[in-house]
Amino acid sequence: MEAKTQTKTESKNLQVVTDVVCPFCGTLCDDLKIIKDGNTIVDTMNACVIGNEKFKSAQDGHRIMTPLERDDNSAEFTPVSYDYAIEKAAQILAKAKRPLFYGWSSTSCEAQEVGNELAELCGGVTDNTASVCHGPSVLAIQTVGAPCCTLGEVKNRADLIIYWGCNPVHAHPRHMSRYSIYPRGFFTERGFKDRTTIVVDPRPTDTAKQADVYVPVEQGKDYELLDALRTALRGEKIEQEVVGGIPREKIVELGELCKSKKFGLLFFGMGVTQTTGKHRNIDIAISFVADMNKYTKFNLIAMRGHYNVSGSGQVMSWQSGFPFAMDFSRGYARYNPGETAANDILARGECDAAFVIASDPGAHFPVSSMKYYARIPTVCIDPHYTPTTGVSSIVMPSTIVGVEEEGTAYRMDNVPIRCRKVADAPEGILSDHEILERLYHRVKELKGEAGGQH
């Protein structure tokens, strides 16, 4: 398979690997070319600056090269073997009454599947990074459903793009050029000339600068503005002269503009999900999209951040019915975000051990939560040194999915894509999947020895 898609360039040592998937953001661009000299990645083609860095940084020397054990309550680590680290980690998880498993968003669905089974085996809580980003979107979509389509349909059909509370120029740099604004599609032959772009954001972001219409909504007033927009769509009078900082006439104009298009898309980000209203903002955004479908075709897609956070939601859902914050401590899957999400559990000091993989809560969670994490027995799996590895009891390095390992990931529109392997990992480094498999089997043995209930 690989031989088919690798061609030699003029230099006899250089190879170009084509059709590579970028394992960084939820856009999962699948048209990258990676230029290799032997096993060394020397350059990338088609990747944005972030994607390029993902491949280059894989080999830049900041990798963890051996499992580590933190010396008691200090910042010092001792190198250990995988056998030792896996045994220690298994002991920690098997002994714990309610361990927390968190992360999953930057690894493969295959690893996620085993990890969730391990969480169930341990009677723990398993949560992914959606709980601090698009969790409210998932809640709202589960509650009322959502009209959705693929990014391919956006490219070929959409003549109206709304970016609400997101800034793809910086967070998803190729989203606009590959799918939404600039590409020429089947029914959008003239590319951006066939499309109208609206950006709704309190700040005049770099994405807003490229929009045909910029709507500077007041901070935290997304719900009110969407409500007024729905009122305008129905042809009813908006009572207030200004809603969310936008004059009434402008809102009516926006509604008419949306109605005049053939295929509209509402892309939304954390500017909507993590501001006042949270999942209610998404409820009303979905209602707005449903209203729009009385006049034209309209869909919405969440701008997912980590490249496989969508996959983690998919895997958890098909395994146990819930997309994040899943609690197995009662012997069956339970889900109550606000109570069973990772930060809730850490903030209340409710877990007696924690396992972090493919994410970095040390860089994103409140300090008080991480102080608690640093006090309990913990296991962290990551290819690189991070703030989380620095306060974990056992650290295990892993290969990088999509660079050194194949694996399945789900794009932000929930299309599964197979990530490729383009280079060999440093010698002796195990994959997330293999570490999890070994942990699962050892914990199962330990639970059996202890006469555990699973």
Interface residue with ligand SF4 among 17, 20, 29, 232 (CB under 6 A) is: 29
Q: How far is CA 169 from CA 188, 199, 209, 269, in A?
A: 21, 12, 10, 13
DSSP conformation letters of 17-56: EEEEPP-SBTT----EEEEEETTEEEEEES--HHHHHHHH
Give the closest residue to 210 by CA, choosing from 222, 201, 194, 198: 198
Give the closest residue to 284 by CA, choosing from 218, 224, 374: 224
Q: Does 172 contact ligand SF4 by CB under 6 A?
A: yes
* Segment interacting with ligand SF4 (CB under 6 A) among 47-55, 255-263, 324-332, 412-420: 47-55
Interface residue with ligand SF4 among 50, 290, 415, 446 (CB under 6 A) is: 50
φ, ψ at 438 (rounded to 5°) = -65, -40
Write each residue from 311 to 350 as x if it is in contact with ligand SF4 (CB under 6 A), else as -, in one continuous string.
Answer: ----------------------------------------
Instruction: Count the site residues for ligand SF4 by CB under 6 A.
Output: 13
Q: Which amino acid is at 352?
A: D
Output 28 or 138, the one with its CB closest to ligand SF4.
28
Q: Does 47 contact ligand SF4 by CB under 6 A?
A: yes
Q: Using the 8-state DSSP alphabet, how is residue 400 labeled? A: P
Output 23 or 115, the one with its CB closest to ligand SF4.
23
182 contacts 176 by C-beta, under 8 angstroms: yes
Output 177 or 319, the one with its CB closest to ligand SF4.
177
Binders of ligand SF4 in range 3-22 (CB under 6 A)? 22
DSSP conformation letters of 165-224: S--HHHHSTTHIIIIISSS--SS-TTGGGG-EEEEE-SS--TTGGG-SEEE-PPTT-HHH
Binders of ligand SF4 in range 58-77 (CB under 6 A)? none
Q: How far is the CB of 384 from ligand SF4 (least distance, A)?
A: 17
Q: Does 28 contact ligand SF4 by CB under 6 A?
A: yes
Query: Which residue bears the tokens 């590319």?
Result: 191
Q: How far is CA 179 from CA 161, 162, 191, 309, 387, in A?
A: 10, 13, 10, 20, 34
196 contacts 163 by C-beta, under 8 angstroms: no
Q: Does 51 contact ligand SF4 by CB under 6 A?
A: yes
For CA atoms 169, 166, 102, 20, give the dihedral sign: negative
Q: Does 305 contact ligand SF4 by CB under 6 A?
A: no
Residue 120, SS3 per DSSP: helix
Residue 344, SS3 per DSSP: helix
Q: Does 173 contact ligand SF4 by CB under 6 A?
A: yes
Q: How far is the CB of 171 from ligand SF4 (least distance, A)?
A: 8
Q: Does 24 contact ligand SF4 by CB under 6 A?
A: yes
Interface residue with ligand SF4 among 36, 134, 157, 174 (CB under 6 A) is: 174
Interface residue with ligand SF4 among 17, 34, 41, 48 (CB under 6 A) is: 48
Q: How far is the CB of 53 from ligand SF4 (least distance, A)?
A: 9
> What residue is closest to ligand SF4 based on CB?
51
**Dist. CA 49–CA 43, nearest whole Å:** 11
Output 31 or 212, the one with its CB closest to ligand SF4.
31
Q: How far is the CB of 389 from ligand SF4 (least distance, A)?
A: 23
**Dist. CA 352–CA 396, nearest whole Å:** 20
* Segment interacting with ligand SF4 (CB under 6 A) among 46-54, 154-162, 200-208, 398-406: 46-54
Contact residues for ligand SF4, defined by CB under 6 A: 22, 24-25, 27-29, 47-48, 50-51, 172-174
